[in-house]
Structure 1
Amino acid sequence: MVVIVTGASGQLGQSLQFIAPNYPEIEFHFYTSGELNITDLENCKNIFAETKPDFCINTAAYTAVDKAESEPEKAHLINVTGAANLVKVCKEFDTILLHISTDFVFDGKASKPYTEEDLPNPTGVYGQTKLDGEKAIQKIWEKHFIIRTSWVYSQFGNNFMKTMLRLGAERDSLSVVNDQIGTPTNAVDLAEALMKIILAYNLQPTTDNFGIFNFSNEGQCSWYDFAKKIFEINKMEIDLQAIPSSSYPTPAKRPGYSVLDKSKIKEVFGVEVSLWDRKLI
């Protein structure tokens, strides 16, 4: 079984490389954006012609949420055109696409966890381009799994946990917003969930399960709660202050509530989900 992974230098790409040795039955091919540029259709075709993949995991994305507000064309090029290019090539080579999406497709006005059936309503450029990328995939090729996730962190790449650890080492006090509620996602857990989907499909191929799935860790917290737990686990003494989002304005509006319901992925693929505060590295 051949699996190619785009965005190999990102935190999910690196997490997939970290767990790859546990799956000797899979021939992985990891590509950075410099090696496989999803915005270049011919480049995509050439890579697929060389590797003839059974599955493609697309972790490549424009994820600079605030910067996207001033770079909408660049965000669209990667998140929409790039996704469309990749799924066109997947269709040409009969490759199943696993595409990573985001909780930012929602406006955050819900009061209970979002299911895959809830109506998206993004409030910023990043969320809109990720939703448009989902729609492009759905329109072009039925053999896809779109996995929406949230608040991804790991020992790899850039993320909230690593930022907190760096700032905690540099400062005596920090202020973190406490009125945005979501769920952190350990990137290695997400990588394992993707493997579970691939192995389950490979064991019993069916068109019934294609579509959108949510995945994050279990439970919910605010960014303040997340930071507090990070410092606790790493035994770092810091004066941590909870502040409202209004005290920390950003170019892009964040969802106030973006907890994802994982019932579907647990039921369909038997994915086991750990509590967010038990998985901090």
Structure 2
Amino acid sequence: MVVLVTGAGGQLGLSLQFIASNYPEIQFVFCSSAVLDISNSERCQQVFAQHQPDYCINAAAYTAVDKAESEPEKAHLINVTGAQNLAKLCKAFNVVLLHVSTDFVFDGSKKSPYTEEDVPNPTNVYGQTKLKGEIAIQEVWEKNFIVRTSWVYSPFGHNFMKTMLRLASERDTLSVVDDQIGSPTHAVDLADALLQIILTNNQQPTTNNFGIYNYSSEGQCSWYDFAGEIFRVNHISINLQPICSSDFPTPAKRPQYSVLDKSKIKNVFGLSIKNWEESLKPLN
């Protein structure tokens, strides 16, 4: 079974590489953005023709949420055009596409966890392009698993955890917003979940479980809570102060609440999902 991974140099792609040896039944083809620019349809065609994958995990994305506000065309090129290109190639080569999306497709006005049936209403360019990417895939190719996740971090790439640890090495005091609520998700846990979907689908190819799924760690917290736990497990003493979002304005508006309901993915694929605190390990 050949699994092509785009965006192999990002934190999800690197997490998939980290656990690849746990899946000897899968032959992985890891393509970084330097090797495979998903917005280049001709290059996508070449890679698919060369490797003949059975599955494609699209871990390539424009994820700079604030920067997207001033670079909407670039975000659209990767998150929409790129996703559409992959869907077209997956259809042409009869490849199952796993596409990673985001909690930021929601506006955060809900007070209970978002299900796959809730109507998206993104409040920023990043969320808008990710939603358009989902729609583009669904319009092109039915053999897709769109997995919405949230607050992804890992020892790899750029993410909130690594930013907090860097800032803690530079400062004695740190202020973090405490009025945005979500679920931190370790990229290695997400990578495992994606591969479990592939294995389950491969064992039951006649079962049509395609569609949108939510996946994040269990539990919820604020960014302030998350930062506090990061410092605790890494034995870092710092003066951490809670602030309101209004005290820390950003170019992109974030959802106030974006906890995801994972009932569907647990029921369909039998996944056991860790609590976010259980997944958080010291960075060493």
TM-score of the two chains, using structure 1 as the length reference: 0.99
Partner of 2:231: 231
1:205 Cα deviation after fit: 0.8
- Tell me the residue number matched to 1:47: 47
Determine if contact 2:183/2:220 at 8 Å carries over to the other structure.
yes
Question: Cα distance, 1:21 vs. partner?
Answer: 0.4
Instruction: Check conservation: 1:181, 1:223, Cα contact below 8 A.
Output: yes
- The CA distance in 2 between the partners of 1:37 and 1:170, in whole Å, is 36
Q: Verify the 8 A CA contact 2:201 2:207 in the aligned structure 1.
A: no
2:169, 2:269 → 1: CA distance?
41
Matched to 1:185, the amino acid is T
- Separation in structure 2 between the aligned mates of residue 154 and residue 187 of structure 1, nearest angstrom: 5
Q: Which residue of 1 is the match for residue 35 of structure 2?
A: 35
- Structure 1 window deviating more from structure 2 (202-211 vs 64-73): it is 202-211
Aligned residues, how many?
Answer: 281
Partner of 2:208: 208
Task: Indicate the percent of aligned positions where both proteins have the same amino acid.
Answer: 70
Q: Note the C-alpha offset of 1:207.
A: 4.9
- Give 1:164's aligned amino acid: M
CA displacement 1:192-232 (0-9 Å, x = unmatched): 00011000000011352100000000000000000000001
Query: Match for residue 68 of structure 1?
Result: 68
Match of 2:108 in 1: 108
SS at structure 2 position matched to 1:100:
strand
RMSD (CA atoms) = 0.6
Task: Supply the distance in 2 between the matched residues of 1:8 and 1:121 (Cα, whole angstroms).
Answer: 29
Aligned equivalents of 2:21 and 2:234: distance in 1?
A: 28
Aligned position for 2:196: 196
2:278 and 2:90 mapped to 1: Cα distance?
Answer: 37
Q: Distance in 2 between matches of 1:4 and 1:50?
A: 11
Once the two structures are TM-superposed, the CA of residue 170 in structure 1 deviates from its matched residue by 1.2
**C-alpha separation between the residues in 2 aligned to 1:235 and 1:206?**
50
1:32 deviates by: 0.4
How far, CA to CA, are the matches of 1:34 and 1:21 in structure 2? 23
Q: Distance in 2 between matches of 1:84 and 1:207?
A: 24
Structure 2: give runs of 5+ residues left out of the alignment: none
Does the 8 Å contact 1:174/1:241 carry over to 2? yes
The answer to whether the 8 A contact 1:148-1:212 is kept is yes
The letter for the 2-side match of 1:153 is Y
Q: Does 1:15 align with 2:15?
A: yes
Instruction: Determine if contact 1:143/1:207 at 8 Å carries over to the other structure.
Output: no
How does 1:130-209 map onto structure 2 within 5 Å? 130-209=130-209
What is residue 120 of structure 1 aligned with on the other side?
A: 120
Cα distance change of structure 1 residues 61 and 278 upon mapping to structure 2, 3 Å threshold: same
Give the Cα–Cα distance (whole angstroms) in 2 for the partners of residues 48 and 72 of structure 1.
28
- Give structure 1 regions of 4+ aligned residues with deviation exceeding 6 angstroms: none
Q: Is the 8 A contact 1:216 1:260 kept in 2?
A: yes
Q: Quick check: 2:111–2:257 contact (8 Å CA) kept in 1? A: yes
- Report whether the alignment pairs 1:252 with 2:252: yes
Helix, strand or coil: the match of 2:188?
helix
The normalised TM-score by structure 2 is 0.98
Task: Indicate the SS of the match to 1:231.
Answer: helix
- Render the CA deviation track for 1:57-106: whole Å, top value 9, x for unaligned: 00000001001001111111110000000100000000000000000000
Task: Give 1:79-94 correspondences, 5 Å limit.
Answer: 79-94=79-94
Cα distance in 2 between the residues matched to 1:249 and 1:122: 18
Residue type of the alignment partner of 1:72: P
Amino acid at match of 2:232: E
1:238-277, aligned counterparts within 5 Å?
238-277=238-277
Once structures 1 and 2 are overlaid, which stretch shifts more, 202-211 or 26-35?
202-211
Amino acid in the other structure paired with 1:8: A
Unaligned runs of 5+ in 1: none
Aligned 8 A contact 1:6 1:58 in 2: yes
Q: Which amino acid aligns with 1:262?
A: K
